[in-house]
Structure 1
Amino acid sequence: MWRGSRHESQRTYQIVFIITVVIAVIALLMGLSVFSLGAISAFWVMTLAYVILAVACLLRGA
């Protein structure tokens, strides 16, 4: 019972990590002027990625 729950939990955090990496890469491309998302700055997109990652890490420790 523990093992299945733990495995699902690890998988969830791996998915969150991959999502934050994708958001960070989008912010990097925005910073290099490859494309833009309108009025949103690359800084705020990168900040969003790190906030999502930080929340996931804090919830994992809880």
Structure 2
Amino acid sequence: ILSGKINGIWATRLAFEYKEKFGEEAPAGLMDLVKTSFKDICKVEQHTEQELIYPVLEDHDKCK
């Protein structure tokens, strides 16, 4: 879902992006899984009242 989106996605778009990619509804509790179980894949940051989900980049030079 985050592939190619180095600037991340808003958490409110997660279910939509999941359905678009996999053709089915996102599983219940997906955001909780993202926050607790996928820390090696993505990070979640709070911005105002919304959260952004970013991919964790192995090569930080890609951000330059």
Fold-level similarity (TM above 0.5): no
Shorter-chain TM-score: which interval? Answer: under 0.3
Going by fraction, where is helix more abundant, 1 or 2?
A: 1
Going by fraction, where is strand more abundant, 1 or 2?
A: 2
Task: Specify the structure having the higher radius of gyration (Cα).
Answer: 1
What is the TM-score with the length of structure 1 in the denominator? 0.27
What is the TM-score with the length of structure 2 in the denominator? 0.27
